[in-house]
Structure 1
Amino acid sequence: MPAPQRLLMVCLGNICRSPMAEGALRARLHAAGLGMAVEVDSAGVGRWHVGNPPDPRAITCAARHGVDIAGLRARQLRPADHDAFDLLLCADASVLQAVRAAAPAGARARSALLLPWGGFAARTEIPDPYTGGMADFEHVWTLVDAAAAAIVARTAAHAQR
């Protein structure tokens, strides 16, 4: 059995978008029987929330969709992540820029925007819902769950080759 692909979801503080993306992808991989094919984690480029659970609105939103992210804890992107993961999938262009700037020389991991990498060329960024309301979190869930579904489809197609 080949080594699992390692994906790191990245946003600003690791309490909204990236834990929601991590939860959505884990749930979809598990439902498809592909949990062993892909390892998923999340991180933030900032250290503001390190050790904290996701935003309560993110937890509530994910739970409404049958996904429990309450046990996740925010962490900051580390230099070692650039070698430990195959791909760092970023919520927006500013996060992508920060991730690339933080990459050590010779880093192995590639970095990309989550939505385009997931096949959504028309939408490039996941908006930050932090200063918004539940409707903003629901919109983010729709985006990260669609990206998760696309990643699972891509993983399943690759596994059948």
Structure 2
Amino acid sequence: MLSISSSDIPYTFLETTMTIRVLFVCTANICRSPMAEGIFRHLVAEARLTGQIETDSAAISPMRVGEPPDPRAQRTVLKRGIDISDLRSREVWRDDFHQFDYLVAMDRTNHAYLRSLCPRGCEHKIFLMMEFAPAIGIAEVPDPYAGGEEGFELVYRALEMAARNLLTYIRQQHQLTPTE
């Protein structure tokens, strides 16, 4: 699993953040990152941490801004009771580094873009999604856009495992406990 200790994260990051904010980032914000957002939001609700963790997703490219998630992405998560139909693609902004505690990239290209946009002192907030699921054996979440439904199913399984481990990591880093 990820080898980051609490000593690697500034005190203010750990102690003064009331609500933990997580931003999932992919290329167009219509497949992988909205799926990740929906899955993670669902897991946060199951863990009774909704008031303590907020999620969003964004794109590194403006080509699909304002569009809903791909219908195949919507169908894939809806089979599991997760509705992402209300989400709309948006572009990642430099200010997001100040608004979010975790910026989670789906692939190395997204990760490199985030690093190029990142203000000094915020580098510790950038992660690759699959760092949280090394057992799967893939370094990046594959982009299912050009493929069929089976590609979205594969992406769902990878995202679910990584999202579960990311939630565990955040709970441990911030000592979060469920609300009643």
TM-score (norm 2): 0.82
CA contact (8 A) 2:29 2:69 kept: yes
* Structure 2 residue aligned with 1:60: 75
* Structure 2 residue aligned with 1:40: 55
The count of residues paired between Structure 1 and Structure 2 equals 159
What letter is aligned with 1:120? P
The whole-number CA distance in structure 1 between the counterparts of 2:60 and 2:41 is: 21
Residue 101 of structure 1 aligns to a residue whose secondary structure is helix
Could you tell me the percent identity over the aligned residues? 36
Shift of 1:159: 2.1
Shift of 1:107: 4.0
The whole-number CA distance in structure 2 between the counterparts of 1:100 and 1:148 is: 21
* Structure 2 residue aligned with 1:11: 26
Shift of 1:5: 1.2
* Structure 1 residue aligned with 2:38: 23
Range with greater deviation from structure 2 (45-54 or 95-104): 95-104
The whole-number CA distance in structure 2 between the counterparts of 1:70 and 1:119 is: 26
Shift of 1:119: 4.3
Shift of 1:155: 3.8
CA contact (8 A) 2:115 2:123 kept: no
The whole-number CA distance in structure 1 between the counterparts of 2:126 and 2:169 is: 17
The whole-number CA distance in structure 1 between the counterparts of 2:73 and 2:108 is: 21
The whole-number CA distance in structure 2 between the counterparts of 1:29 and 1:107 is: 24
The whole-number CA distance in structure 1 between the counterparts of 2:63 and 2:47 is: 35
Range with greater deviation from structure 2 (74-83 or 100-109): 100-109
Residue 159 of structure 1 aligns to a residue whose secondary structure is coil
What letter is aligned with 1:30? A
- Gap regions ≥5 residues in structure 1: none
The whole-number CA distance in structure 1 between the counterparts of 2:81 and 2:161 is: 15
Higher helix share: 2
Deviations 1:62-100 (Å, cap 9, x if unpaired)? 101110000000000011001111111000001100111
CA contact (8 A) 2:20 2:101 kept: yes
